[in-house]
C-alpha cells in the first residue's frame, strides 16, 4: 500500500510540476513575449501600477492643474504600456483617471466665452483677473490629447472608444487651443520670439506635443501647423555635438533658473539640463511619428546624445549627466553628479528607434530593481511616476523597435 501511495504521490507531483511548467512557459511566451527583458518590464509595470493605484485616484480627484502636471508622468507611462502590450485593461485604467480629471474641471468665463479649466486660478503679472495656470495646464493635457491619438490610431479601440476620444479632443481643444492659443496668445507662440525668450522654453514643447497629438487624432491641419511651427523653431536651434545634438549651448546665464527653490543654485553649466530636456526628446519622437518635420536621422542623432554624452557607459550602474553637454555641475537642488539625470519621461522613448538606448534603459530599470545605488538611479526610481513611466515606455519601445527593423 505504501508503494502504491508513493506512486500516486509521485504521479500527482509530476502532474503538478507539468502544470506549473506549462504555466511558466505560458507566462514567458504570452505575457513576456518570449523575452526576458520584456517580461521584466511588464512585471515591473504591473507592480508599480498596482502599488500606485490609490495615489493616482487621489490625484485625479484633486481638480488642480498643479497636481495634474505631475500626474501626466504616470499617465504617459500607462498609455505607453497600453500601446506596447495592446492591453485594453491598461488603456481603461488611463481613461478612468483622465475622465476623473476632466470631471473636476470648472467652467471658466473670459470675454463672454466659457472654457473648461482646472484650478488654481490666480492673478499674474499679465492679468489682474484670476486665470488658470498656463504652465501646469499645458503639461497636464498632453496625455489627454495623446490618449485620443492612441485610440484613433487603433482600429479596434477606435470603434470601441471613439466617443471617448472625441470628448478628449474637445476638452483639450477648448482648454488649450481655443483659450490659450487663440484667445490669450492671439495665434502667436511667444516662447519662439528670441528677443523675449533667448533660450528654449518647455511651454513650447508641451504646446507642440498637445497640437501634434490632436493632429494625430483628427488629421486637422490647423493642429499640424502649430506643431510644425514649434518643431521648426526647435530644429533651428539644434547643433551637432559629437554624434548627438545640443542646443542653447552657452546661452543660459549661470545661476539662472533657480525656480525660487530654497537652496537652489540654478543652472550652473549654461546649457539645458538633462531632466527638462526630456520634453524635447518626447517632442521630436512624437512629431516624427506624426509625420511632422523630424526625420529618422534626427532621431538617430538624438539617440547618440544619450549614448555618447549623457550616459556614463556603465551597464551595471547606469547614470546620466546633469546637463546636455555631459556636465555634472549642480542644477538647482540636485547637486550630486547624475542626480539631475532623469530619463524616464522622454529620453527613454528613443529606445524605440535605438537598440542601444533601449538596452541602456532596460539596464537602468534592472539596476533599480536589484537595489543598485547611484544618484541617477535614485532620481529615476523616486521621481513622480518614475518607475511606472520607465517600465511603461520601455514596453512601448519593444513594439516600436519591432516595427522599425
- From residue 145, give the alpha-carbon distance in Å to each of 66, 93, 193, 226: 18, 16, 26, 14
- From residue 281, give the alpha-carbon distance in Å to each of 251, 284, 326: 20, 5, 16
The answer to whether 147 and 95 have CB atoms below 8 angstroms apart is yes
Tell me what pLDDT residue 365 has. 98
How much of the chain, in percent, has pLDDT values that exceed 90?
88
Tell me what pLDDT residue 3 has. 43
| Ranges assigned E (strand) in 132-243 | 239-241
- From residue 181, give the alpha-carbon distance in Å to each of 120, 185, 275, 366: 19, 5, 26, 42
C-alpha–C-alpha distance, residues 198 and 194, integer Å: 5
- From residue 385, give the alpha-carbon distance in Å to each of 52, 101, 207, 343: 9, 17, 21, 12
Domains of the chain, earliest start first: 35-403 (1.50.10.10)
Q: How confident is the model at residue 102 (pLDDT cuts 50, 70, 90)?
A: very high
Tell me what pLDDT residue 128 has. 76
Tell me what pLDDT residue 2 has. 46
C-alpha–C-alpha distance, residues 49 and 94, integer Å: 11
- Per-residue pLDDT tens for 264-290? 999 999 999 999 999 999 999 999 999
- Per-residue pLDDT tens for 331-352? 999 999 999 999 999 999 999 9
Tell me what pLDDT residue 13 has. 47
- Per-residue pLDDT tens for 122-136? 887 777 789 999 999
How much of the chain, in percent, has pLDDT values that exceed 70?
91
At residue 12, does pLDDT exceed 80? no
Mean pLDDT of 309-327: 98
**201, exposed or middle or buried, with CB in 10 Å at 0-12, 13-18, 19+?**
middle
Q: How confident is the model at residue 187 (pLDDT cuts 50, 70, 90)?
A: very high
Mean pLDDT of 325-330: 98
CB atoms within 10 A of CB 327: 18
| Ranges assigned E (strand) in 132-238 | none
Tell me what pLDDT residue 1 has. 46
At residue 6, does pLDDT exceed 50? no
The answer to whether 37 and 361 have CB atoms below 8 angstroms apart is no
Mean pLDDT of 356-365: 98
- Whether the CA torsion 234, 240, 242, 243 is positive or negative: it is positive
Residues β-bridged to residue 223 = none
The answer to whether 310 and 326 have CB atoms below 8 angstroms apart is yes
Nearest of 77, 29, 84 to residue 395 by alpha carbon? 84
Tell me what pLDDT residue 8 has. 55
Tell me what pLDDT residue 124 has. 77
C-alpha–C-alpha distance, residues 206 and 141, integer Å: 9
Lookup result for grid cell 497636464: 140
Tell me what pLDDT residue 398 has. 96
Nearest of 373, 356, 367 to residue 390 by alpha carbon? 367
C-alpha–C-alpha distance, residues 24 and 32, integer Å: 10
Instruction: Give the chain's length.
Output: 405
- Per-residue pLDDT tens for 54-81? 999 999 999 999 999 999 999 999 999 9
Q: How confident is the model at residue 4 (pLDDT cuts 50, 70, 90)?
A: very low
- Per-residue pLDDT tens for 388-399? 999 999 999 999
128 phi, psi to nearest 5 deg: -90, -5
C-alpha–C-alpha distance, residues 339 and 337, integer Å: 6
At residue 24, does pLDDT exceed 60? no
DSSP 350-376: GGGT-HHHHHHHHHHHHHHHTT---HH
Amino acid at each position: 500500500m505504501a508503494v502504491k501511495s508513493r506512486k500516486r504521490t509521485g504521479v500527482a507531483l509530476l502532474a503538478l510540476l507539468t502544470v506549473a511548467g506549462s504555466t511558466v512557459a505560458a507566462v514567458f511566451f504570452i505575457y513576456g513575449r518570449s523575452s526576458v527583458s520584456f517580461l521584466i518590464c511588464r512585471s515591473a509595470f504591473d507592480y508599480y501600477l498596482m502599488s500606485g493605484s490609490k495615489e493616482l485616484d487621489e490625484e485625479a480627484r484633486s481638480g488642480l492643474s498643479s497636481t495634474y502636471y505631475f500626474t501626466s508622468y504616470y499617465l504617459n507611462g500607462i498609455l505607453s504600456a497600453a500601446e506596447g502590450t495592446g492591453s485594453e485593461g491598461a488603456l481603461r485604467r488611463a481613461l478612468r483617471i483622465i475622465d476623473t480629471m476632466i470631471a473636476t474641471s470648472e467652467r471658466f468665463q473670459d470675454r463672454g466665452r466659457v472654457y473648461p479649466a482646472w484650478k488654481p486660478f490666480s492673478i499674474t503679472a499679465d492679468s489682474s483677473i484670476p486665470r488658470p495656470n498656463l504652465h501646469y495646464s499645458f503639461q497636464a493635457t498632453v496625455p489627454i490629447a495623446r490618449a485620443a491619438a492612441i485610440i484613433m490610431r487603433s482600429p479596434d479601440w477606435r470603434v470601441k472608444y471613439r466617443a471617448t476620444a472625441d470628448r478628449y479632443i474637445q476638452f483639450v481643444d477648448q482648454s488649450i487651443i481655443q483659450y490659450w492659443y487663440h484667445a490669450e496668445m492671439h495665434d502667436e507662440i511667444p516662447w519662439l520670439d528670441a528677443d523675449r525668450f533667448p533660450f528654449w522654453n518647455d511651454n513650447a514643447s508641451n504646446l507642440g506635443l498637445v497640437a501634434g497629438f490632436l493632429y494625430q487624432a483628427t488629421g486637422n491641419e490647423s493642429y499640424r501647423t502649430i506643431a510644425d511651427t514649434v518643431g521648426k523653431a526647435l530644429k533651428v536651434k539644434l547643433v551637432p555635438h559629437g554624434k548627438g545634438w545640443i542646443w542653447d549651448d552657452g546661452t543660459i546665464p549661470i545661476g539662472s533658473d533657480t525656480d525660487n527653490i530654497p537652496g537652489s543654485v540654478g543652472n550652473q553649466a549654461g546649457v539645458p539640463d538633462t531632466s527638462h530636456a526630456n520634453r524635447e526628446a518626447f517632442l521630436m519622437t512624437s512629431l516624427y511619428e506624426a509625420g511632422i518635420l523630424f526625420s529618422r536621422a534626427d532621431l538617430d542623432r538624438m539617440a547618440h546624445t544619450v549614448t555618447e554624452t549623457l550616459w556614463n557607459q556603465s551597464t551595471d550602474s547606469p547614470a546620466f549627466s546633469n546637463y546636455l553637454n555631459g556636465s555634472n555641475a549642480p542644477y538647482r537642488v540636485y547637486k550630486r553628479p547624475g542626480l539631475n539625470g532623469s530619463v524616464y519621461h522622454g529620453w527613454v522613448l528613443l529606445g524605440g528607434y535605438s537598440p542601444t538606448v533601449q538596452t541602456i534603459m532596460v539596464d537602468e530599470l534592472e539596476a533599480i530593481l536589484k537595489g543598485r545605488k547611484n544618484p541617477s538611479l535614485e532620481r529615476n526610481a523616486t521621481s513622480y511616476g518614475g518607475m511606472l513611466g520607465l517600465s511603461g515606455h520601455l514596453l512601448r519601445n519593444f513594439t516600436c523597435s519591432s516595427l522599425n527593423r
